[in-house]
Amino acid sequence: MLDDLDRALVHALRVDGRAPFSRIGAVLGVSPQTVARRYGRLRAEAGLRVVGLADPRRAGRTQWLLRLTAGPHAAQNLAQALVRRPDTAWVKLASGGTEITAIVETDSDDHALLLRDIPRTAAVTAVSAHCLLHTYRGGPSAWPGSTEALSASQQAALRPETVAPAATGGRLEPADRALLTALHHDGRTPLGELAAATGRTPATVARRLAELRADGTVFLDVELDTRQLGAAMHALLWLTVTPAHLDRVGRALATHRELAFLAATTGPSNLAAIALCTDPADLHRYLTTRLADLPGITALESAPILRTLKSAGPVPPPARRP
């Protein structure tokens, strides 16, 4: 479990994933060396990582929530195959290890995974793809359980300086691809390395990145094993809501601390969510009290998440043996 300083560091990175350790240390009242040591330990022991991501809509990409069912042994192999694909954002095993849920990003005219690759896989016994229509929580909107350590004044001191939005009006340029690739692997990549990867000067890279972040075209996500924050029970929720109440229910659920992800989707279950709770009893309390109190929900399906195989960033290659 994380202590108070660890939680404060995670929250600080949520505010600005590229904040220098010196600025974080000044806000938290510790030395930059202490922040660096804590950051290194959390990377090694709690899966902490800052990942730079492009807003899918502004990048001209569509997100799909993919549900696959296969036999226990086939599901493991299929899940690992999805993990290796660059177009998957996260991959989770649920329901006894026989159900795989993943987010897939596709270009507007490229649906190879949905139309060709999956149907060719004989081990799949059921498949459904749900287009994400609107995200109420997720991406730039963090799980509240990771943003409770800092005061309002501390958060204000950490926020990056405001700059004018990009002149491109939120559109990504071809020259931005190398920048995004580097940030996707590590959102804290130093400016010098970003400059080398993009062929630009550090000053140009700094200006362009600030512009893209200012208008939300690019944002920094923070990956972390949330069990370290006390959330040991993870569950996928599929809710069916009457159309007249869909947006109202979505907005209400977006205020719930228990939800780390919430989106309106196509399909018979028109809201999908991920709940993070302390234990099964806590999940039961949430489902039967806060969730049950909302009118308009006509059906609910829940499935425990057994393992997260991939999060927002790419999975690093296995370490070489000496």
Q: What is the pLDDT of residues 67-125, one digit of tens each?
A: 999 887 788 888 988 998 888 888 999 988 889 999 998 886 666 655 556 655 667 88
User: What integer pLDDT is reported at residue 110 of this predicted model?
Assistant: 61
Round to whole Å and give the CA distance between 98 and 95.
6
Quote the CA–CA distance of 9 and 156 in Å, as a whole number: 15
Q: How confident is the model at residue 167 (pLDDT cuts 50, 70, 90)?
A: low
How far is it, in rounded angstroms, from Cα 314 to Cα 279?
29
Separation CA 70–CA 87 (nearest Å): 21
Please give the tally of structural domains in the chain.
1
Mean pLDDT estimate for the chain: 90
| pTM (2 d.p.) | 0.90
Residue 142 lies in a domain: yes
Which CATH number covers residue 294?
A: 3.30.70.920
Instruction: Tally the residues of the chain.
Output: 322
Residue numbers of the domain that contains 233:
137-146+228-306
Which residues, other chains included, contact 104 with Cβ-Cβ below 8 Å and sequence gap of 6+? 63, 64, 66, 85, 87, 88, 89, 113, 114, 129
pLDDT for res 321: 37
Q: Per the domain annotation, does 203 fall within a domain?
A: no
Q: Would residue 266 count as lying in a domain?
A: yes
Backbone torsion region of residue 280, taken as left when φ is above 0, otherwise alpha when ψ lies between -120 and 50, otherwise beta: alpha
Q: Is residue 49 part of a domain?
A: no
Q: What is the pLDDT of residue 124?
A: 82
Give the residues across from 310 on adjacent strands: 91
Residue 317 lies in a domain: no
190 domain residue, yes or no: no
Please tell me what DSSP assigns to residue 141: B
Q: Is residue 241 part of a domain?
A: yes
